[in-house]
Amino acid sequence: MSKKLKKFYFILLVPLILGFAVLNWTIAHKFIELIPHEFSETAGSLLFILCGAFSIAFPISYRSLFAYKSESHSGISQKEFLKFERTLIGFTMVATFFALLANIFELPRFYTAGAILLSLCALYYLFPSYRKIALDQKIYKVKNGIK
């Protein structure tokens, strides 16, 4: 299961990393200009809030909801747990996409850096390591453990 989640994680992460690399390379070599945005303060704060919501608030809320749901059962299946973990990883990747958008627009540096840091924190926290998956399976009482 850990290998499946890592594969899913990297399938979603690699295009975003390539997007950041290509975008920053083209800006550094002046092939493209940043998109000036006349509402940069509003757009910056909106992207920052969305990035915070998708990297911190939604995953915490979803974990709490899943814990509440799994508490009423004697245990959950691996299929349900895999779906849960994939959804959490998806939330994180949406936050990283918002950080990429903040990097494309000419927004104040505070919002761009904050969005990038929030997404990096969420990517680190939700990386599907073997130990994290084993602990989550123990917490949510997954039947048959890690595979």
Is pLDDT of 147 > 60? no
Share of the chain above pLDDT 70, in %: 93
How many residues does the structure list for the chain? 147
- Picking from 43, 134, 57, the residue whose alpha carbon sits closest to that of residue 91 is 57
Q: For the chain, give the longest Cα–Cα distance.
A: 59
Asked if residues 130 and 63 have their Cβ atoms less than 8 Å apart, the reply is no
What pLDDT is stored for residue 86 in this prediction? 92
Tokens of 137: 């399976």
**Segments making up each domain of the chain, as ranges:** 2-25+40-139
Is pLDDT of 53 > 90? yes
Tokens of 136: 């989550």
Alpha carbon distance 133, 7 (integer Å): 14
Alpha carbon distance 84, 79 (integer Å): 9
- Picking from 66, 71, 70, 72, the residue whose alpha carbon sits closest to that of residue 86 is 66
Which of 27-31, 40-44, 67-71: highest mean pLDDT? 67-71
Backbone torsions φ then ψ of 105, nearest 5 degrees? -80, 155
What pLDDT is stored for residue 76 in this prediction? 86
Is pLDDT of 37 > 70? no
Question: Which one is predicted more confidently, 108 or 113?
Answer: 113
The residue behind tokens 């084993």 is 134
pTM: 0.80
